[in-house]
Structure 1
């Protein structure tokens, strides 16, 4: 399983546009093969902060995502709305317990 974790900040004047655009990105990502989860949250510990979290079943699915229209939309429509360069981490993990 591949896990993505992205954090950024958004200028308050771009908040509404950012939230609408990132929600569409999440909806589109969830339609991709192997995308298990893809969502966003406000980071209440960082002023104007946001976090995006996603899970993909395999590295192959993640690679397809990275070449997809979803990522192109992130680059062309989401990142211009941010006030800081997004910081991202991708993890390779496995579920060892589930309830």
Structure 2
């Protein structure tokens, strides 16, 4: 399992459109084969910056999602809303304290 973090910066006027699209698709993304966790965060001070944080069983599972019709549909509606190029990281969890 690994964690995928995606940073997205939106034009302020596009935030509601993004949130509506995310809400519409979040359950389908979370239930996609290989995804075991999904959260959306907003930067505390730069409120036009959002992050998705998701757990994936394998790189193959993430790649399967990234080539799926679901991803293509979501991304085609999200991409035009950006104010800056999105950034993404795939990281391994080293320590987790509960």
TM score, norm. by length of structure 1: 0.82
- Number of aligned positions between the proteins: 98
Deviation of 1:26 after TM superposition, in Å, equals 2.3
Deviation of 1:96 after TM superposition, in Å, equals 6.0
Task: For 1:97 and 1:85, locate their aligned partners in 2 and report how far apart those are by CA, in whole Å.
Answer: 30
Name the counterpart of 1:23.
23
Change (3 A) 1:38 1:97: closer
Name the counterpart of 2:62.
62
Name the counterpart of 2:71.
71
TM score, norm. by length of structure 2: 0.82
CA RMSD of aligned residues (A): 2.0
Task: For 1:94 and 1:15, locate their aligned partners in 2 and report how far apart those are by CA, in whole Å.
Answer: 30
SS at match of 1:85: coil
Deviation of 1:10 after TM superposition, in Å, equals 1.2
| Runs of 4+ off more than 3 Å | 94-99
Q: Does the CA contact (< 8 Å) of 2:3 and 2:93 recur in 1?
A: no
1:9-57 deviation per Cα after TM superposition (whole angstroms, max 9, x unaligned): 1112111111111223322211211210122111113241111111111
Deviation of 1:94 after TM superposition, in Å, equals 5.4
SS at match of 1:36: strand
